[in-house]
Amino acid sequence: MKETIVFVGPTLPAAEVRARLPGATVAGPVAVGEVLALVRRRGRHLARLAIVDGYFEGMAAVWHKELLVALARGIAVYGAASMGALRAAELAPYGMRGVGRIYRAFAAGRLVADDEVAVAHLPAEYGYRPTGDALVNLREAIAAAPGLSARTRAALVELARARFYRERSLARLVADARAAGLPARSIAALAARPVPDRKAADARLLLSHLARGARDPGLASRAAIAVPRTWALRQLEAWLDDG
């Protein structure tokens, strides 16, 4: 049986991924070169790659071209929740398949900024535990808080957006709202409720999709893609060979 690899970090614990998708190989957040290296070494043994989380600051993010190489080799590539949602929205015309509300929002242009899904997290030895709240999750919290006017909701979203992604959390947003003089009752309504985890919900939806063996009915009708070996791709291959 060919292999399914899931790249996941702060969005879901590895143990949950294994429980929901038995037999899958669970890797950490994907980074530049990892997909290309997998395709070059084990391409004929790979059936599916599923990207949930990916690096983007301390190291370069996974390249679009790497994912296109995988697709050209007949490997199904999925994305959801975080880096996966971003790349799936960008590469949907070439056959990458996105799942979940966050993916659909990026694909439709309702979300446009990469930092909507960014979140600071601890290293691998601590299970990539997040240390803050992603903006997409804070948006859900603001939308779900009862009794807020449209103006207050918009102001809260702008306060959350104004913070650097590493500083975003419900506690920080509540403090910023108080400092901005937003209505005390609205702030209390927001603070009283837990932050919904839309990223985790979308990741679970992707795992359910994969566990059912669901396929995109439009995939067979797409023309095979050809990926030119550009200078940049050759440089990445050389870097992998040197490493």
Residues 209 and 104 in one domain: yes
- In this predicted structure, the answer to whether residue 66 has a pLDDT above a threshold of 50 is yes
Decide: 89 and 45 in contact? Cβ < 8 Å.
Answer: no
Are 12 and 53 in contact by the 8 Å Cβ rule? The answer is no
Lowest model confidence (mean pLDDT) among 20-24, 57-61, 146-150, 209-213: 57-61
DSSP 155: H
Q: Tell me the pairing of strands 97-99 and 46-51.
A: unpaired
Q: What is the pLDDT of residues 198-209, one digit of tens each?
A: 999 999 999 999
| Among 35, 5, 72, 54, CA closest to 206 | 5
> Are 90 and 35 in a shared domain?
yes
Higher pLDDT pick, 216 / 43: 43
**Same domain assignment for residues 20 and 60:** yes
pLDDT digits (tens, 9 = 90+) for 78-134: 999 999 999 999 999 999 999 999 999 999 999 999 999 999 999 999 999 999 999
Judge whether 204 lies within some domain: yes
- Does 165 lie in the same domain as 48? no
Contact 165, 223 (CB under 8 A): no
| Entry pTM | 0.92
Tell me if 78 sits within 8 A of 46, measured CB to CB. Answer: no
Q: Quick one: 110 and 59 in the same domain?
A: yes
Checking if the pLDDT of 16 tops 70, the result is yes
For residue 52, being part of any structural domain is answered with yes
Instruction: Tell whether 43 and 108 lie within a shared domain.
Output: yes
Number of independent structural domains in the chain = 2
